């Protein structure tokens, strides 16, 4: 049995195919194991798509397991947010587990290790442990407590659990090899004492907590995971993963396979840094639309399908690299170009009066919702004497490359008539405040004969249009690799958010609902901001700009 032939393959799927063919496994079990110490980001999406995608395609199962062994940094809020994000991405777990579900079993296996002479209680301080550990060039030194008798170890470990000893005074360590070239194998810590913490699952039941490297292989094995997929920094931990399972009585031995992390340009992905952005209020929260978090991308207007496509497109390999932001942006553009209804919105309004159009008249015009997909239907627009156009669509004078309105020139108002600009009214400072134009009633759906129309510009009726705030996002950082030359916060882009408070959108947008996505013609793709938008005070987010080619086409 192998996965659906259409599924994109990668070296991990090839290993799985071989394991199924050889009969090593009949079904595939994977897991996604986040630590609930922050929100998920786009890098986690790569791991989610990989793990859940494999379970969906083979078929098999995938667990969502919270790796919750460090209560100092973990919170219930993050547990719930992670569950929401995984579901929103379109996946459902087979079982929901917590590493803390296994605390009692983990304790039992530690006792087994002690009984076998493979673990000991060590009284060295953290600093001494570091000192004894040695370096890449020099072997470490054995702890003076390494040869403690088994009974003494059992007694001390039991009393560690009972809370008799202070934080940091003792640890349980594996007894492996202080001369190993792999530092992870130099008698690594398995348990440490942490008093006074309230764990979101286990409360104050425990005052000793197992380390990640000890917990992870056992949790995998207890869940019958067949392939434990993780990022490359765990490659050096694999010998320890295997050692733990080889030294306890447990029937299952999952195979750990490492792949490279996703790195994206112009953003940061470590939870420590993302937490700092939130705590120092450099962004509005974990779901700030500029954040690379799933919650941020969702609020920004990304679709689950676009994120999944992106993860498939970047592939799964062992080579480290950084992906351009444009690749992520293209995933959502591709999705929305095909599906998003077209609308008109003026982000920087300039009043335009059509002087030969009576003030009491409204002309209803039909406008297609999508130029290439009639199935998306059409809507009505009302042309009125006064409309708004974008300030950037007018210049008093410009050469022929400027495909917009100039004094004395003609353009078409999108979905409506050709107009000519007769006069630019200025205020005392010389700034243009109003354009006075005339329209040609013979130009609906047809071009005038013998006259050159420069281009097509969008507009919104001044009387029928609805005012709105539009938030235009740019990269959160101005450097492709924030923090490379110092503090990453110094690389924040001061212009990553532009709030345009005085926009006008066509009336059809007044009923836009959360989750609707639109192309504002010539501007980009936009959605309702799910947090701040109100029926009577609309707020739109720019999801992504239009293709760069449009920028070139429209300029000049
Ligand atoms: P961070 O360093 O941001 O805190 P983490 O690796 O500690 O991330 P976890 O919650 O432990 O975060 O990650 C859960 C799973 O997601 C792990 O299997 C991890 O390898 C994977 N993962 C995390 N970041 C990335 C990334 N950038 N690309 C691919 N997978 C990732
Ligand atoms: Mg981690």
Q: Which CATH architecture has domain 120-213?
A: Alpha-Beta Complex (3.90)
Q: Could you list the active site residues?
A: 35, 261, 271
Q: Ligand 1, closest atom to CA 35? A: 10
Q: How far is CA 42 from the centre of its chain?
A: 3
Q: Whose CA is nearest to atom 14 of ligand 1?
A: 34
Q: What is the pLDDT of residues 128-156, one digit of tens each?
A: 999 999 999 999 999 999 999 999 999 99
| Torsion angle in degrees (nearest 10) through CA of 3, 8, 11, 12 | -50
Determine the distance separating the centroid of ligand 1 and the alpha carbon of 496, expressed in angstroms.
26
The CATH class, in words, for 263-339+468-556 is mainly alpha
The answer on pLDDT for 554 being more than 70 is: no
Phi-psi domain of 168 (left: phi exceeds 0; alpha: psi -120 through 50; beta: other):
left
Q: Is the pLDDT of residue 279 over 50?
A: yes
Span between the terminal Cα atoms of the chain, in Å = 58
Ligand 2 mean position to 269 CA, how many Å? 12
Smallest CA separation from ligand 1 atom 3, residue: 270
Q: How confident is the model at residue 1 (pLDDT cuts 50, 70, 90)?
A: very low
Ligand 2: centre distance to CA 234 (Å): 10
Residues having CB within 6 Å of any atom of ligand 1: 33-35, 43-44, 46-47, 67, 230-231, 261-262, 269-271
Q: Give the model's pLDDT for residue 547.
A: 78
Helix (H, G, I), strand (E, B) or coil at 367: strand
- With cut-offs at 50, 70 and 90, classify the pLDDT of residue 7: low
What is the whole-number distance in angstroms between the Cα of residue 538 and the centre of ligand 2?
39
**DSSP class of 446:** S
Pair 395, 359: CB distance under 8 Å: no
Instruction: Give the three-state DSSP class for 496.
Output: coil
Ligand 1 pocket test, candidate residues 30, 31, 34, most atoms within 8 A of CB = 34
Residues 135 and 48: their CA atoms lie apart, in Å, by 35
> Does residue 4 have a pLDDT over 90?
no
Equal fold, 263-339+468-556 vs 345-457: no
Fold assignment, 345-457: Ribosomal Protein L25; Chain P (2.40.240)
| This prediction's pTM | 0.94
Task: Give 59's pLDDT tier (boundaries 50, 70, 90).
Answer: confident
Given a cut of 90, is residue 244 above it in pLDDT? yes
**How far is the centre of ligand 1, averaged over its atoms, from the C-alpha of 277 (Å)?**
18
The ranges assigned to domains in the chain are 120-213, 263-339+468-556, 345-457
Q: Whose CA is nearest to atom 26 of ligand 1?
A: 43
Q: What is the pLDDT of residues 516-544, one digit of tens each?
A: 999 999 999 999 999 999 999 999 999 99
Cα radius of gyration rounded to whole Å, the chain: 31
Pocket test residue of 10, 44, 322, 328 for ligand 1, highest count of atoms within 8 A of CB = 44
Residue 228 scores a pLDDT above 70 = yes
């Amino acid at each position: 049995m192998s996965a659906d032939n259409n599924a994109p393959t990668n070296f991990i799927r090839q290993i799985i195919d071989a394991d199924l063919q050889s009969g090593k496994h009949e079904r595939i079990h994977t897991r996604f194991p986040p630590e609930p110490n922050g929100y998920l980001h786009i890098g986690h999406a790569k791991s989610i798509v990989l793990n859940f995608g494999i379970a969906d395609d083979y078929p098999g199962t995938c667990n969502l397991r919270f790796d919750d062994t460090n209560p100092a940094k973990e919170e219930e809020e993050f547990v719930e947010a992670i569950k929401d994000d995984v579901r929103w991405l379109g996946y459902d777990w087979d079982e929901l587990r917590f590493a803390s579900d296994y605390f009692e079993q983990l304790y039992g296996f530690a006792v087994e290790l002690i009984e076998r002479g493979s673990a000991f209680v060590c009284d060295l301080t953290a600093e001494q442990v570091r000192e004894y550990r040695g370096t890449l060039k020099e072997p470490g030194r054995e702890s003076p407590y390494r040869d403690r008798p088994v009974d003494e170890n059992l007694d001390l470990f039991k009393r560690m659990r009972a809370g008799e000893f202070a934080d940091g005074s003792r640890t349980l360590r594996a007894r492996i090899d202080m001369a190993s070239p792999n530092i992870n194998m130099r008698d690594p810590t398995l348990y440490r004492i942490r008093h006074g913490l309230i764990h979101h699952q286990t409360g104050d039941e425990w005052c000793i907590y197992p380390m990640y490297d000890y917990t992870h292989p056992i949790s995998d094995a207890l869940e019958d995971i067949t392939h434990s997929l993780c990022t490359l920094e765990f490659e050096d931990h694999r010998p320890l993963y295997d050692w733990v399972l080889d030294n306890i009585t447990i029937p299952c031995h999952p195979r750990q396979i490492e792949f490279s992390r996703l790195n994206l340009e112009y953003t940061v992905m470590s939870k420590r840094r993302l937490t700092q952005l939130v705590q120092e209020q450099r962004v509005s929260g974990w779901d700030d639309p500029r954040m690379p978090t799933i919650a941020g991308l969702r609020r920004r207007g990304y679709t689950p399908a676009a994120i999944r496509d992106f993860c498939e497109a970047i592939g799964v390999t062992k080579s480290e690299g950084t992906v351009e932001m444009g690749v992520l942006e293209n995933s959502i553009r591709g999705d929305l170009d095909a599906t998003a209804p077209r609308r008109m919105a003026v982000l920087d309004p300039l009043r335009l009066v059509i002087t030969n159009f009576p003030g009491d008249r409204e002309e209803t015009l039909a406008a297609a919702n999508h130029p290439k997909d009639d199935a998306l239907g059409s809507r009505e627009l009302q042309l009125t004497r006064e409309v708004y156009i974008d300030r950037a669509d007018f210049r008093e004078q410009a050469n022929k490359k400027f495909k917009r309105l100039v004094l004395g020139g003609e353009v078409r108002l999108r979905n409506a008539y050709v107009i000519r600009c007769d006069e630019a009214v200025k205020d005392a400072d010389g700034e243009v405040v109003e354009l006075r134009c005339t329209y040609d009633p013979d130009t609906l759906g047809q071009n005038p004969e013998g006259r050159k129309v420069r281009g097509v510009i969008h507009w919104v009726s001044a009387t029928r249009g609805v005012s709105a705030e539009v938030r235009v996002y740019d990269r959160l950082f101005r450097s492709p690799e924030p923090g490379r030359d110092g503090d990453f916060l110094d690389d924040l882009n001061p212009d990553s958010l532009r709030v345009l408070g005085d926009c006008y959108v066509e009336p059809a947008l007044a009923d836009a609902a959360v989750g609707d996505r639109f192309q504002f013609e010539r501007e980009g793709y936009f959605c309702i901001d799910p947090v701040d938008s109100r029926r009577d005070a609309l707020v739109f987010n720019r999801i992504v700009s239009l293709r760069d080619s449009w920028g070139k086409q429209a300029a000049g």
